[in-house]
Amino acid sequence: MIKAKVNQSEFDVEIVSETEIKLNSESNQLDVISLSNSKKHLILGNKSYSIEYVSFDKEKKEAVLKVNNSTYKVALKDKYDLLLKDLGMSSMATKVVKEIKAPMPGLVVSIEVEKGQSVKVGDAVLILEAMKMENVIKSPIDGVIKSIKAEKSTTVDKNTILVEFE
């Protein structure tokens, strides 16, 4: 069973077969036609839905879907997530990152952040040149820059701490 939170509503979802799904223990017949990798047409009961996949965050298990041109945020929890929550261990599944280390030896070409700056997952933190290629080092978390250990135009070894988070 999967728990799905769609905007503010929660549903228990159980996939019985390709043509049957249980929503909150109520059996429903469905017919799905794949229009492309990101678009599906679904008939559930007597209603027709046009569904478009917008994005999915694997770590958070959250999807953004467009259903009949309305956008919905869907958070999914499988049996393991529910078990961790019941055991009081759900916070242990989140990633705690306190620093960014150099993934390879190289030359710091530029530093894209400054101390005290807030960053989001995927924001460019610095550019490291290695083997004649510029590599954008991105933030693995949402956080605030505590300190910058690297300096522009200096070389760093692999695993050298480049940036620390608060």
Mind listing the pLDDT tens digit for each residue in 5-25?
A: 998 889 998 989 888 889 899
Give the integer Cα–Cα distance in Å for 79 and 20.
Answer: 20
Give the integer Cα–Cα distance in Å for 50 and 28.
Answer: 17
Mind listing the pLDDT tens digit for each residue in 103-130?
A: 999 999 999 999 999 999 899 999 999 9
Q: Which domains does the chain have, with CATH numbers?
A: 2-93 (2.40.128), 99-165 (2.40.50.100)
Contacts of 13 (CB under 8 A, 6+ apart): 1, 2, 3, 4, 21, 22, 23
Give pTM, 2 decimals. Answer: 0.51
Question: For all residues of the chain together, what is the average pLDDT?
Answer: 89
